[in-house]
Structure 1
Amino acid sequence: MAGRKMKCNGCGMQLVVPPEARTMRCPWCQAVTPVKPYDPYGRTEDPVRQAATWMKGLLSNVSNKIDTIATQINSYPGTTTAPSYANYAYNPPVSRPFSFPSVHGRRRAVLCGLCYRTKRYELKGSINDVHCMKYFLMEKLGFPNDTILILTENERDPYRIPTKQNIRMALQWLVQGCRSGDSLVFHYSGHGSQQPNINGDEIDGYDETLCPLDYETEGMIVDDEINATIVRPLPKGVTLHAIIDACHSGTVLDLPYLCRMTRDQNGRYLWENHSPRSGAYKGTSGGLAVSFSACDDHQTSADTSAFSGDTMTGAMTYSFIHAAQSAPGLTYGNLLNAMRLAIREANIGIRCNGPISSLLRKVFFTGLSQEPQLSSAEKFDIYTKQFVL
């Protein structure tokens, strides 16, 4: 069921709240506003139109703000000869050599969006996902612009094209010099895959992988490498959140514990132990690593317009941002359930005043079978631990 827009009694800001909410706390002025009960007879805004309006508004803000900032960032003085990316249907303008942003920010993020232009497996929504995530981190959570590193095919700097080597460098930058109190984010929207595991560490016999732009020639990035690069170095007091919108991504960070939700409606769960049989350590150096992924290891994820009507996005990225900004103060369990519910409703259609209309079925029946997953370096109570980026 889609959220509703309510005005904060303190500052007048329009906030989106879930139907079951009775009060809402404004993330800007902290004022508490009573929420009118949800009207089941359809006298609230049409959920289809509301979802489309929300996404169009978000992308409009992204277009007006984030793209302007990106243009300023990429307008570097000086020129060098840039390498050719003809194989990627992209020929970047000349720019000065890449330099990493400052690593002294207490909150920093790496956002990767891959469309694989001109390929038969081209994606349409990945760069939209990155722009929306950057807007969410900056405008809603206060992440500094100069501590967010973007890798997409649209970047002018050739070192910010999401090739295998550039993604590796970006992940190393993300954890470089991190110390207690730091909050790190890794968002990836693109293709994911699997390959046979050769060391016997995987329960299902497969390593999960990310597919960089040049994976056909340079190979994929395997979960063991991702774990070694951004999980194991985390010292005490550092928190890493990974948001992975890709197929086969349930355990792509190779974290020791996977939250296995029951399929009933009572929210029960258990932590499934995925520690390697060899005894290899896959945890952190005292910090906390948590991953939200688009689907289970055996599932695929979708690039879809089901949520917005005409704008392509990753189903997981959309549901994550929508849930996280609609109800500040969510627990990890509430957030995971909200994401799953959004995708489930998009798949089966939203009932509004009786049977689903043919238009609703056309817009919302997407065939999505993915179930977002939560994995972690340590066990915790998902319904009491508050989600904070």
Structure 2
Amino acid sequence: MLMLVDCSNCRTPLQLPAGARSIRCAICQAITRVADPRSLPPPLPHQQSHATPSTYNYHAPPSPYNHLPSFGQTPSVNGKKRAVICGISYKKTKHELKGCINDAKCMKYLLINKFRFPESSILMLTEEETDRYRTPTKHNIRMAMHWLIQGCEPGDSLVFHFSGHGSQQRNYTGDEIDGFDETLCPLDFETQGMIVDDEINATIVKPMPHGVRLHAIVDACHSGTMLDLPFLCRMDGSGRYVWEDHSPPSGIFKGTNGGEVISFSGCDDDQTSADTASLSKVTSTGAMTFSFIQAIERGHGTTYGDMLTSMRTTIRQTDVGGSSGGGGAVTSLLGMLLTGGSLGIGGLRQEPQLTASEPFDVYTKRFSL
């Protein structure tokens, strides 16, 4: 039987054999010592593990979301749809954000009413949820990511949305061009640690089978390559673009098992919002979700290139919180998101990014969730 323990240095999940008192991390080589294995989480079913710098092993225990509908119970004409939406406000902490739960609500509304996602197949993780498995803790986000890809088949469409804090930490394996891993900050990140891009890639990117499509919308600082996808669309102000190969120098494979993964993110890896730690502003998170939904509502989301251009244009505008035209409930929700506080958008130094498991023509490939 194997048990799960986080590396004491880089927080990588490691599988500790029953009875073992220490384990060396294959990612950063640090040794993690466990005084009493009985204090660890419940044992996992035995699975072969070869944790090397070219593999990232995280095996979740049985999902607490098994009571939710399976793919087979949510049929649609073009395949089945499932989404995980995380919105974290870090309420009553020095990291508090104001717009993230609104982001989550807006995204859920969009998926249900625009893209016909069954409400029963959308898993919401916010601090407003009363179910203990639906608070956005590190453990629950991990479990939700595993639930997202369980049983997926060709034709299925998956969405992962995160609105909250993002960060970076030093990479020791040589698989990051800039030397830093990108990380998501769950609600309990100060005690339980962050979720590293290596784990996100291993959980919802690498297993993606042929014919399945995943879209990630990551609304956080340092989020440009949060899924560790191998290709980044580098677009200039005129709309010209090239696909940069971000395959790790170490040679670690970061692609899929035949499926397609595309990610929109709030900013480049080296960009931050000066207001993300403020108690009264959430410009980067609110602005990105707003621009994503507005592009779709205004009909600017025909292709991926149109989406990216529209999002960047919206964020550069100084009157984003004003009337967006067209009315409707989504517009009203977005108005609440950006006008409910001191949310000046002007002067933002962030540019939404597009990354993918494979390059494509962004101006001919049609966007759809």
- TM-score of the superposed pair, with normalisation by structure 2: 0.71
Aligned length: 276
Q: Which of 287, 296, 301 matches 2:268?
A: 296
Matched, 1:321 2:293: yes
Q: Which of 64, 70, 76 matches 1:103?
A: 70
Distance 2:168 2:343 in 1: 31
Measured at CA, do residues 108 and 303 of structure 1 come closer, stay the same or move farther in structure 2, by a change above 3 Å?
farther
Please give the secondary structure, in 2, of the residue aligned with 1:159. helix
The 8 Å contact of residues 273 and 283 in structure 2, kept in 1 or not, is answered as: no
Q: What residue in structure 2 maps to residue 11 of structure 1?
A: none
Please give the secondary structure, in 2, of the residue aligned with 1:236. coil
Could you tell me how far 1:301 is from its partner in structure 2? 4.1
Measured at CA, do residues 156 and 366 of structure 1 come closer, stay the same or move farther in structure 2, by a change above 3 Å?
same
Distance 1:329 1:347 in 2: 20
Matched, 1:383 2:357: no
The 8 Å contact of residues 219 and 285 in structure 2, kept in 1 or not, is answered as: no
Measured at CA, do residues 286 and 126 of structure 1 come closer, stay the same or move farther in structure 2, by a change above 3 Å?
same
Superposition map of 1:333-348 within 5 A: 333-346=305-318
Aligned letter for 2:347?
G
Superposition map of 1:242-321 within 5 A: 242-263=216-237, 265=238, 267-301=239-273, 314-321=286-293
Q: What residue in structure 2 maps to residue 148 of structure 1?
A: 122
* Percentage identity across paired residues of the two chains: 63
Could you tell me how far 1:324 is from its partner in structure 2? 1.3
Q: What residue in structure 1 maps to residue 32 of structure 2?
A: none
Measured at CA, do residues 328 and 315 of structure 1 come closer, stay the same or move farther in structure 2, by a change above 3 Å?
closer
Aligned letter for 1:101?
L
The 8 Å contact of residues 124 and 313 in structure 1, kept in 2 or not, is answered as: no
Superposition map of 1:51-62 within 5 A: none
Give the structure with higher Rg (CA).
1
Distance 1:108 1:255 in 2: 21
Please give the secondary structure, in 1, of the residue aligned with 2:249. coil
Q: What residue in structure 1 maps to residue 138 of structure 2?
A: 164
Matched, 1:218 2:198: no
Please give the secondary structure, in 2, of the residue aligned with 1:226. helix
The 8 Å contact of residues 301 and 307 in structure 2, kept in 1 or not, is answered as: no
Distance 2:233 2:283 in 1: 31
Matched, 1:371 2:345: no
Please give the secondary structure, in 1, of the residue aligned with 2:318. helix
- Greater alpha carbon shift after TM alignment, 248-257 vs 340-349: 340-349
Distance 2:362 2:274 in 1: 26
Distance 1:374 1:101 in 2: 31
Distance 1:221 1:151 in 2: 15
Measured at CA, do residues 235 and 207 of structure 1 come closer, stay the same or move farther in structure 2, by a change above 3 Å?
same
Distance 2:113 2:270 in 1: 35
Q: CA RMSD in A?
A: 2.5
Could you tell me how far 1:386 is from its partner in structure 2? 0.4
Q: What residue in structure 2 maps to residue 206 of structure 1?
A: 180
Superposition map of 1:32-181 within 5 A: 99-104=66-71, 105=74, 106-181=80-155
Measured at CA, do residues 205 and 150 of structure 1 come closer, stay the same or move farther in structure 2, by a change above 3 Å?
same
Measured at CA, do residues 179 and 134 of structure 1 come closer, stay the same or move farther in structure 2, by a change above 3 Å?
same
The 8 Å contact of residues 220 and 284 in structure 2, kept in 1 or not, is answered as: no
Aligned letter for 1:120?
K
Aligned letter for 2:151?
G
- TM-score of the superposed pair, with normalisation by structure 1: 0.67
Gaps of 5+ in 1: 1-96, 305-309, 351-361
Aligned letter for 1:286?
G
Could you tell me how far 1:326 is from its partner in structure 2? 1.7
Measured at CA, do residues 256 and 158 of structure 1 come closer, stay the same or move farther in structure 2, by a change above 3 Å?
same
Please give the secondary structure, in 2, of the residue aligned with 1:240. strand
Aligned letter for 1:373?
Q
Q: Residues 155-202 of structure 1: CA distance to partner in whole angstroms, max 9, x if unpaired?
A: 010110000000000000000110100000000000000000010110
The 8 Å contact of residues 125 and 312 in structure 1, kept in 2 or not, is answered as: no
The 8 Å contact of residues 224 and 253 in structure 1, kept in 2 or not, is answered as: yes
Please give the secondary structure, in 2, of the residue aligned with 1:346. coil
Q: Residues 212-255 of structure 1: CA distance to partner in whole angstroms, max 9, x if unpaired?
A: 01111111000000000000111111000000000000000000
Please give the secondary structure, in 2, of the residue aligned with 1:193. strand
Distance 1:100 1:255 in 2: 31
Measured at CA, do residues 196 and 165 of structure 1 come closer, stay the same or move farther in structure 2, by a change above 3 Å?
same
Gaps of 5+ in 2: 1-63, 75-79, 277-281, 323-341
Measured at CA, do residues 139 and 349 of structure 1 come closer, stay the same or move farther in structure 2, by a change above 3 Å?
closer
The 8 Å contact of residues 83 and 121 in structure 2, kept in 1 or not, is answered as: yes
Distance 1:184 1:111 in 2: 11
Please give the secondary structure, in 1, of the residue aligned with 2:224. coil
Could you tell me how far 1:131 is from its partner in structure 2? 0.3
The 8 Å contact of residues 212 and 221 in structure 1, kept in 2 or not, is answered as: yes
The 8 Å contact of residues 98 and 158 in structure 1, kept in 2 or not, is answered as: no
Q: What residue in structure 2 maps to residue 45 of structure 1?
A: none
The 8 Å contact of residues 125 and 303 in structure 1, kept in 2 or not, is answered as: no
Q: What residue in structure 2 maps to residue 236 of structure 1?
A: 210
Q: Compare the two structures and name the one with the higher helix fraction.
A: 1
Aligned letter for 1:386?
R
Q: Residues 18-61 of structure 1: CA distance to partner in whole angstroms, max 9, x if unpaired?
A: xxxxxxxxxxxxxxxxxxxxxxxxxxxxxxxxxxxxxxxxxxxx
